[in-house]
Amino acid sequence: MTTLMMILGIVVFVVGLLFSIAWHELGHLSTAKLFGIRVPQYMVGFGPTLWSRRKGETEYGIKAIPLGGYIRMIGMFPPGEDGKLEARSTSPWRGMIEDARSAAFEELKPGDETRLFYTRAPWKRVIVMFAGPFMNLILAVAIFLGVLMTFGWNETTTTVRSVSDCVISAEENRDTCKDGDPAAPAKAAGLKPGDTIVAFNGERIEDWTTLQARIRDTMGPATITVEREGAEKVLHANLIKNQVTKTDGDGGYVEGQYVDAGFIGFTPASGIVEQSFTDSVDRMGDMMENGVEALIALPSKIPDLWDAAFGDGERKQDSPMGVVGAARVGGEVFTLDIPPENQIAMMLFLVAGFNLSLFLFNMLPLLPLDGGHIAGAAWESVRRKVAWVLRRPDPGPFDVAKLMPVAYVVAGIFVCFTLLVLIADVVNPVRIS
């Protein structure tokens, strides 16, 4: 049964992956057609074609390897300086440029002269190239907001999970009491597991972050209002100074760092809490920020990734994952001993996270990514505006094809990194619990 659920989870994730890719390419396709650019192909996947059908002037299809997708637009690059589409060169770098330029004009038909990508205004080209990643962002936001506002988010609550028997400094790193340890203020006050704290010193409390801050700022007598068996009860505690783990300001803890603060002595419970629209947007902002930070930190994670793939290094939870690793996690989600609605929510979060990553990654201003084409169109617009202001001749379209050697180097780096992640995903995968 576990194997069957694992396979089902992988299949569900792959379906979500294919939809995300198709959704991305639909953004490019729809805007390209809107601006009159001819699009001969719309493909989901790479490699051999499994299925295709031509509708109008575009062939729609699915390929064997679900690691991406593409649309083919006529005239991605302008002709060379001599106006020709192809002129062979003995230079390998120059050959790359000419091959890219020639490929951009494959299947050129009479009448296509007015339907070429490079002939469109820079702002239209920016829209066409941005539309793909933007579709992934829309999908990620829609899924995140939908799950957060209907299902909820697993977070620390103000409900008491357990009450400490004594006061122990966090730096001592022990759980059992010793003779001479003072009794915990929470126990002395009569706090019990299952109590939900609704007010502290007369101030209503809605979330754990606020309650934690109030407790840490208080030393001495305090009143704690709890909800117990449907009724509110006021408890009186005498908080003491103790060494506790430092917080990061976002509800997390800073490992190995301690501060002196007020202490009461109980462990809060965690649970699924539905989020308001405002809270959901705030969490989306945090996810976006974390995604940007993770993207910037990618190069620094390569040594650990190498050790995990070829050495005896530990595969960390925040290690980069590829499609294979994400699919494996998707399979594990369906094997967890949790309610079905939790499994569905986790799978949706996984697909949403994948779409957010696609958006951020594709916005890097590097060819052959969408962001590289956006940067090229933006630079062309700047050049033309500067020439107009200075009353100089129009410099014409920016020849992105000249950057193809750099694009091949970037693509080579991406391929090597993808292979490294793939090996790590197979031999030492990230696991969930």
Q: Give the integer Cα–Cα distance in Å for 121 and 119.
A: 7
Q: Report which of 360, 423, 323 is spatially closest to residue 18, judged by C-alpha positions.
A: 323
Pairing of strands 253-263, 220-228: unpaired
3-state secondary structure (DSSP) of residue 44: strand
User: Are the beta carbons of 223 and 202 closer than 8 angstroms?
Assistant: yes
Q: Report which of 20, 75, 27 is spatially closest to residue 44, judged by C-alpha positions.
A: 20
Which neighbouring-strand residues pair with 261?
242
Q: Report, as residue numbers or ranges, the catalytic residues.
A: 25
Which neighbouring-strand residues pair with 162?
267
| Per-residue CA distances from 77 to 110, 119, 124 (Å) | 18, 9, 15
Spell out the residues 6+ positions from residue 416 whose beta carbon is closer than 8 angstroms to its own: none
3-state secondary structure (DSSP) of residue 43: strand
User: Are the beta carbons of 291 and 269 closer than 8 angstroms?
Assistant: no
3-state secondary structure (DSSP) of residue 274: coil
Task: Please count the other Cβ atoms lying within 10 Å of the Cβ belonging to residue 206.
Answer: 9
Pairing of strands 203-204, 196-200: antiparallel
Which neighbouring-strand residues pair with 228?
231
How far is residue 118 CA from its own chain's centroid?
31
User: Are the beta carbons of 332 and 5 closer than 8 angstroms?
Assistant: no
Q: Give the integer Cα–Cα distance in Å for 10 and 433.
A: 17
Q: Report which of 75, 29, 39 is spatially closest to residue 59, judged by C-alpha positions.
A: 39
Tokens of 103: 């490929």
